[in-house]
Chain A
Amino acid sequence: MKNFLVSPSPHIHTSTSTATLMRDVVIALMPAVIVSVIFYGWSELLVLGVSVAACVLLEYVITKFLLKKENTVCDWSAAVTGILLALNVPPTCPWWVVAVGALVAIGVAKMTFGGIGMNIFNPALVGRVFLLVSFPTFMTDWTIPAGFITTDAVSGATLLGKYAEGGVEAIQGVDYIKTLFFNIGGSAGEISALALLAGWVYLLVRRVIKPWITLSIWATVAAVSLVFWLAAPDQFTDPVFNLLAGGMILGSCFMATDYVTSPMSVKGGVVFGVGIGFISLMIRYFGSYPEGMSFAILIMNAVVPLINLAFHQKKYGRK
C-alpha cells in the first residue's frame, strides 16, 4: 500500500499564486505598452525590450549566483518591474541608461532587501528616480521619436514641464479629451490615460487589487488642487489637469498599488493614498521638479510599516 499524504487542514488550495497575480499585472499593462509602441515606434520597443530583459536576467543571475537561492524569475515580478520601468523613462533614453535603471531597480531596490516581498520601496520607481538624478539630460529629453503611425521625430515637452517652466499660461488651451486618449510628449506611461485605466479596471475585475488606494489619491489630488485653483486660478493648475497630466494615472493605478510596498488594510491604504496625492501635488506646485508622483510614492513607501502598525481591519467580536 502506498503512503498517503497527511497534513494539517486545509487540504485544498486556491489556484491563484504569486505568478498568476503578477501575470495579471503584466496583462493589465499591455494596453499601455501597445499604445506606447504604436506612438513611439522602434525606440520605445528597444527601451521596453532592454528594460524587461535586463530585469529578468539580473534577477536570475542574482538569485542563482549571488544569493544561491531558488530563482524567482518564474513569478513574473521581474517582468512587471521591467515594464513599469520602461513606461517611466523617455522613449529616447539610450539602452544602457535603461539597463543601469534595471540594475538599480532589481539589484539595489529589490534583491538587497531579500527579493520579492521584502523590498521597502517600489523597485521600478527607485530605478526611475536613480536615473532622474543621475542622468537628468536623458531623462528629461522629451523628443518624440517616429512612431508607427506618426512620421517624423519632433521635439516636445510634457505638459507638466511646460507648467513648471512657464506657469499656467504655458498650458492654456490644452485639450483634456485628447489627453485622456493620447497625449504625445512624455514617457511611454504618460501617453494614454485610457489605456492605463483599462488595465486598472482589468485588475479590479480580476480582484488582483482593491480600488481604495487609487481612488483616495485621485480624491486628494482633486480636492487639494481644487482649493488652490479656486484661490488662485492664474497661478495653480486645475484638478482635471492634475489628474490627467504626467504620471498620475500610471502612478496611482500601478505603482502605488504594488502589494509589497503599500499598506495591507483598507484604512491604511486610504491614508497612504491621501499622502501620495498631497505630496505629489505639493511637488508639482512648489517643487523644482515638474512631476512629483515618483517621489511622493517613494516617501509614502517609507511610511508603510508605520501605517501597517497603526491601522488594522475590524475584527469579529471586538471593537
Chain B
Amino acid sequence: MKTFKIGGIHPNDSKISRDCKIEVLPVPQKVFISMAQHLGAPAKPIVAVGDRVKTGQVIGEPGGFISAFVHSSVTGTVKSIAPRKDLAGNCVVPHVEIEVEPDEWAEGIDTSDTIVTEIPQDKDFILGRVKANGVVGLGGATFPAHVKLAPAKQPDFLILNGAECEPYLTSDYRIMMEKTAQIIVGAAIMRQVLGGPRTVIAIEENKPEAIDAMNNMVRMLKDNHGGYDGIEVMPLMKKYPQGGEKQLINAVTGREVLSGKLPADAGCVVQNVATALAVYDAVQKNMPLITNTLTVTGDCLPAERQHNYLFRIGIPLSYIAEYAGGIPDEAAKIISGGPMMGKAIANLDATTVKGSSSLLFLTDAQTRRKKASNCIRCGRCADACPMGLEPFLLYRLYNAGNTEELENNAVQDCISCGCCLYSCPANIPLLDNINMAKGQVMGIIRARAAAAKAAAEAAKVEQK
C-alpha cells in the first residue's frame, strides 16, 4: 500500500464520530455571512441593509482574481453589514447579518434529491458554474476552485483527497459514505474540465467502508453510464499528513512538487472530496456553496453527543455548540478544524464559513502544553518532518535571527503540519517559532522577487 516517503507521524486517529449519520442542523434566527470565506481578496458585499435576500442569492462579488462569490445561505432581511469578530477575535472582515425567514430559493436552483449522472461536455459551462456558485477548496486552504481547475498546462493526475488524515475529523468520511455518487460525479466533472487526466480517489486504510463504498459506486457508474472511465479508488497507508497536497501527490504518483512550485507544475491537481461534492452541486444542480458538513466531537463528549451536521454557512459556532448540547465541562480548548492544524477558537461567537469542518473539544490533559526542556538532539522532529526539514536547526536559527541560513535550510518549504511539535519529547515549541521564521523569510523572498521584477522592467524601459 502506498504512502508518502519522507517523514510523517502516526497519532491515534480518534474517529469517534465516524458512525454518526449526517444530520441537518436547523437554522437559527440570525446568521452572519462573512465576506472572507476563501483564500485571496475578500468579497465585496452587493446588498444593502434592509434588502430581502433569497436562499442561494449572490450577496458578495469577488474582490479580485483570486476571490470567490458569496451567497446567502438563508432567506431573510439584511439587518447589518459590518465587521464582526472572527474566531481569532480580530474584527476586520465585513459580515452580512440576515434575519432568517422560511426558505425561499433563488431561481434556477435544483433542490431535488435526484442524482444527475450525465456529465456536461462544455468546459466553460462547468467553470462558469463552479465560479458563479462560489466553490472553494474545502480541504482547509479554501482556495477558489475555478482558479485551480484551470491550470496553465494539462495535468496528468486529478487526485481526490479523501485521506482525512487529521485525527477526530469525520465529515469527509461521512460524505464519502452518504454522498458517494455525488462525489464521483463531481470528480468526473472536474476530470472533464481538466481534459481527462487519470483520476485517483485517495482514501486512507482506516476507512475501509468508504473505500468499499467508493469502489462499488465507481463500478456501478462505469457500468451504467458513459464518462466515468479513468476514475479509480486508491487505498493509502494511514499516516499524517497524508492529506497535505504535496504529501498526497507523492503518495499517489511518487512525484515531488519542487520547492517554490505549485502542484500544477508537477502535473497534478488535488481537490478534496468535499470540494467534489460542492462541484457536483454547483454544476449539476446550480446550487451555490451554502452548506458544508461539520463534525462535533471530542473525547469528553459521550457517544450520543457526537455529531456530523449539515450546516448552513453563516451559523454562529456558539449556536452549533448549544444545539449539540452545550460545551462539556471538561473541555479546555475548542478547535475549529483538526487537532494538528486546526485553529483554537478564541471567540465562539464567530460564524461558520465555507471551510468550517469541525468543532472539536479537547480536555486540559490532552492539549495543555507541557513545560519545554532542553533539546536532547534526538532528531525526532527531523524524522517526523514530511518536508525533510530539520526543525531543531530552524528553531535555533530563528532564535539567533539568522534569516540567511533559515532560507538556506528551506524554512520556506514548511507546511506547518505540526509533526515536529507533536513529536518533540522535550515539548519545545518548534512550530510556533518556525512559522514566524517562515513569515520573515517569505517576506524577504517576495521583496527580492519584486525588486528583481522592478529591475527587469526598468532595464526594458531603458532599452526602448
Contact = CB atoms under 8 A, between A and B. Distances in A.
Q: Do chains A and B touch in the complex (CB under 8 A)?
A: yes
A4 B259 contact: no
Contacts of A77: 376
B332 interface: yes
Nearest to A262: B377
A315 B377 contact: no
B370 interface: yes
A12 B390 contact: no
A70 B256 CA distance: 45
Given A14-B425, A318-B258, A264 B250 contact: no
Which of B257, B332, B388, B423 has most A Cβ within 10 Å? B388
Contacts of A117: 373-377, 426
Interface in B397-454: 409-410, 413, 416, 418, 421-427, 429, 431-432, 435
Nearest to A1: B327
Majority SS at the chain B contact face: loop
Contacts of A118: 374
A134 to B, nearest CB: 29
A8 B431 contact: yes
Given A12-B367, A313-B390, A21 B340 contact: no
B339 interface: yes
A173 interface: no
A9 B418 contact: yes
Contacts of A149: none
Interface string A136-159: 000000000000000000000000
Interface residues of A, number: 37
Contact of B11 (A12, A20, A318): A12
A7 interface: yes
B246 A317 contact: yes
B378 interface: yes
A21 B380 CA distance: 11
Given A9-B431, A318-B259, 9 more contacts: A4-B331, A8-B435, A9-B341, A11-B335, A12-B366, A14-B9, A116-B374, A264-B379, A264-B390
A118 B413 CA distance: 28
B235 interface: no
Nearest to B7: A316
Interface of A: 4-14, 16-18, 20-21, 70, 72, 75, 77, 114-118, 259-260, 262, 264-265, 312-318
- Describe A's contact surface by its main secondary structure: loop
Interface residues of B, number: 63
Closest A-B pairs by Cβ, 9 of them: A10-B418, A117-B374, A315-B388, A264-B379, A5-B333, A6-B344, A259-B378, A12-B339, A316-B387
Given A4-B334, A314-B6, A314-B388, A21 B378 contact: yes
A315 B246 CA distance: 12
B339 A11 contact: yes
A4 B333 CA distance: 5
Contacts of A20: 425
* Residue from A7, A72, A313, A316 whose CB has the most chain B CB atoms within 10 Å: A316
A16 B387 contact: no
Contacts of B416: 9
B167 A316 contact: no
B255 to A, nearest CB: 10
A316 B246 CA distance: 9
Contact of A8 (B256, B370, B374, B432): B432
Interface string B349-363: 000000000000010
A58 B258 CA distance: 51
A10 B346 contact: no
A248 B382 CA distance: 29
B376 A116 contact: yes
A264 B382 contact: yes
A314 B333 CA distance: 36
B376 A260 contact: yes
A118 B377 CA distance: 9
Contact of B369 (A7, A21, A114, A317): A7
B368 interface: yes
